[in-house]
Structure 1
Amino acid sequence: MKSNNRFNQYLGIEIEHQDENSCTAVLHIRPELYNSIDGVVHGGVTSTLADVVMGHAAAPHVNGVQQCVTLESKINYLAPARGNKLIAQSRVIKRGGRTIIMQAEVRTDDGELVAVALGTYARVKTTPQ
């Protein structure tokens, strides 16, 4: 799926699946994404990946442009993010009028759960690019 988000492109986040209730994305780990402990992905990268899959499922992009913004998010880190890639999956918890409550899990390529996130998103009106 195409996204015009340059930051996501810079990180290398690839959307593998997206529908109106869920999203799956992959991030191939590279040394530039490590924190100061060699081989461990920086928590900000993990958090961004969770935010991306939650936002994509909350309101799928139109012509590569996001249709929602994050109002708040919370993440629990459960294990160091190591390996070759991170895989994030999200699902809708509840849809309201303009707000959507989301949940995401981030796992290593061997299936270890490294983080769980909750987020609240708001639909926005975007102008064509």
Structure 2
Amino acid sequence: MFQENNRFNKYLGIEFLRVDEDGCTARLKIRPEFYNSMEGVVHGGVTSTLADVVMGHAAAPHADGVQQSVTVESKINYLAPAKGSVLMAESKVLKRGGRIIVLEARVTSDDGTLVAVALGTYARVSPKRS
């Protein structure tokens, strides 16, 4: 369905369920390497990364597997410990304006707990290909 060349996302195991101009939905199977020092609690950086990924993918579609947007600014509020076997993240576009796109993302655990809410600003780019 969706192809990208982002090695980091592949390394983490992020699976894209939906990517379109309105938003993006992805899931991440939790591995023990993602825990912080409290056993069973996912590190906030993993949660933040997942939110950033779903916002960035909705900001501008990939072309030939290469991203077409970059993060300008991002803020995240952690609402509950991220626990369980899977994290789900869903983004939606709040405003498009030329090169700048503002998005929101919600990250939930597999029991439906809202773990975090993020707000991000992204810029469309045209990366040079070698």
TM-score in terms of structure 1 length: 0.97
% same residue: 70
Which SS does the other structure have where 2:62 is aligned? Answer: coil
**Aligned residue pair count:** 129
SS in 2 for 1:117: strand
Cross-structure match for 1:110: 111
Alpha-carbon displacement from aligned partner over 1:51-104 (angstroms, at most 9, x marks no partner)? 000000010111111000000000000000000100000000000111000000
Counterpart-to-counterpart distance in 2, 1:2 and 1:27: 16
Equivalence for 1:2: 3
Aligned equivalents of 1:11, 1:40: Cα separation in 2: 16
Local SS of the residue matching 2:106: strand
Q: CA RMSD in A?
A: 0.8
Q: What runs of 5+ residues in structure 2 fail to find an aligned partner? A: none
What TM-score, normalized to structure 2? 0.96
Ranges of 4+ aligned residues in structure 1 off by more than 4 Å: none
Which structure 1 residue ranges, 5 or more long, are not aligned? none
Deviation of 1:3 after TM superposition, in Å, equals 1.4
SS of residue matched to 1:32: helix
CA distance in 2 between partners of 1:5 and 1:52 (Å): 10
Within a 5 Å distance, the mapping from 1:36-47 to structure 2 comes to 36-47=37-48
Confirm whether residue 50 of structure 1 aligns to residue 51 of structure 2.
yes
Q: Within 1, Cα distance between the matches of 2:127 and 2:66?
A: 8
Amino acid in the other structure paired with 1:43 = G
